[in-house]
């Protein structure tokens, strides 16, 4: 048996089958490259669902984790931690005036956002939250209720009361859905799992105006779009519209589990002592990793690289669109790109993987391409060559 087959045998026997795994066991990663347990090399253009946003095992993050692991790994949130405070300060510097709560994941960050919104609306007996079709907000009971895709809800009913899902990018639908019980609108500026659907600028501006008029909170789920993915540290900066609450996770810690809920100064003290908590949230070791991630993005010019390489990647994909008539549309912003096909994308996805390129296929016909912010032109050229060869098999 190969090493991969031996690992798979243990999974089949001991690990719950909650994931459709691709049959690869990775053993090592560096930058944009992964190696499996049997030594095969892969170019990673979908690094850990965008978690390894600055590449695998970035030297600054590795050094920060190693140093902190020898000093203090965890301390209870009943006490203060200088690194957690520094990380909150860094997030607020790049986001907007306010405060931060730390958890372990995107679902946790979104749960905190929902609790904050409900607490904010409790005095006026408002609790309903409007979310969008094709959205994805996590796998907890509240977050599958918030998510605008029926496939994640099946078998888990009854779901939590108080969520209303409407079409994306439709301001009239939002206005029609608002009732006297509505307290918040929750939206991904660019839907990731939903198929790289970017919100229109006028739509986001309309949501902000509506929230201001109705005293509702605007929640941006930036779990996938944050940390430079769209060429700005946070995607909301592309729209020049500030949310009341923003949620972060995935690439914030470059691979260590961390989530964050950012609330504006006006509402940041809504959740008080005893109303919310997370045992591991914002521990010294994950805070060190996240601070190192910010440092890498700031000092290595990775926002500019995301914009430049995103434009180069889009240009190359537009070339494939001219060559293959089943490529219908190239969409997204900077290094968060979707290739919409008129056919099922599974065969192309599988062919890319066989040839050593990792991408993703979502919604059946959208190739999701999100390389690390450190990607170079030569990496993109290699990836485009593989995608072209894979498309030629159709």
Taking every pair of Cα atoms in the chain, the longest distance, rounded to a whole number of angstroms, is: 64
The model's pLDDT over 142-162, given as tens digits with 9 standing for 90+, comes to: 999 999 999 999 999 999 999
CA torsion sign for 9, 13, 14, 18 is positive
- Number of C-alpha atoms within 13 angstroms, CB side, residue 170? 13
What is the reported pLDDT for 86? 98
- Of 258, 222, 272, 223, nearest to 242 (Cα)? 222
pLDDT < 50: residue spans in the chain = none
CA quadruple 106, 231, 282, 58: dihedral sign: positive
**So which residues are the catalytic ones?**
136, 221, 250
Residue with tokens 């290739």: 339
Residue 256: predicted pLDDT: 97
> pTM for this one?
0.97
Report the distance separating Cα 67 and Cα 332, nearest Å: 37
Render the burial of 54-64: b for 16+ CB within 10 Å, e for the rest: bbbebebbeeb
Cβ-contact 129, 164 below 8 angstroms: yes
How much is the pLDDT for 10?
Answer: 97
């Amino acid at each position: 048996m190969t090493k991969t087959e031996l690992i798979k045998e243990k999974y089949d026997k001991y690990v719950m089958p909650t994931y459709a795994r691709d049959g690869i066991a990775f053993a090592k990663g560096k930058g944009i490259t992964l190696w499996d347990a049997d030594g095969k090399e892969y170019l990673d253009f979908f690094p850990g669902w965008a978690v390894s946003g600055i590449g695998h095992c970035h030297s600054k993050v590795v050094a920060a984790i190693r140093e902190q692991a020898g000093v203090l790994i965890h301390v209870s949130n009943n006490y203060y931690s200088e690194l957690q405070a520094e990380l909150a300060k860094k997030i607020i510097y790049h986001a907007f005036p306010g405060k931060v709560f730390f958890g372990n994941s995107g679902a946790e960050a979104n749960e905190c956002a929902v609790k904050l919104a409900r607490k904010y609306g409790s005095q006026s007996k408002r609790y309903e939250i409007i979310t969008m079709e094709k959205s994805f907000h996590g796998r907890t009971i509240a977050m599958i209720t918030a998510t605008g895709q029926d496939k994640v809800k099946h078998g888990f009913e009854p779901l939590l009361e108080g969520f209303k899902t409407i079409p994306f990018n439709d301001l009239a639908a939002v206005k029609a859905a608002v009732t006297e019980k509505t307290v918040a609108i929750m939206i991904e500026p660019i839907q990731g799992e939903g198929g790289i659907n970017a919100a229109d600028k006028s739509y986001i501006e309309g949501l902000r105006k509506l929230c201001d008029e109705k005293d509702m909170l605007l929640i941006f789920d930036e779990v996938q779009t944050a940390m430079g993915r769209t060429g700005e540290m946070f995607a909301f900066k592309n729209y020049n519209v500030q949310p009341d609450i923003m949620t972060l996770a995935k690439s914030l810690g470059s691979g260590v589990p961390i989530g964050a809920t950012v609330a504006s100064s006006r509402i940041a003290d809504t959740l008080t002592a005893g109303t919310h908590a997370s045992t591991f949230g914002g521990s010294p070791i994950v805070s060190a990793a996240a601070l190192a991630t910010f440092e890498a993005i700031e000092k290595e010019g990775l926002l500019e690289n995301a914009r430049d390489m995103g434009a180069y990647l889009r240009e190359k994909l537009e070339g494939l669109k001219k060559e293959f008539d089943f490529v219908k549309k190239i969409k997204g912003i900077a290094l968060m790109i979707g290739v919409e096909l008129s056919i099922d994308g599974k065969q192309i996805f599988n062919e890319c993987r066989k040839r050593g390129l990792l991408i993703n296929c979502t919604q059946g016909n959208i190739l999701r391409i999100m390389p690390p912010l450190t990607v170079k032109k030569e990496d993109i050229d290699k990836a485009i060559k593989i995608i072209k060869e894979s498309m030629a098999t159709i």
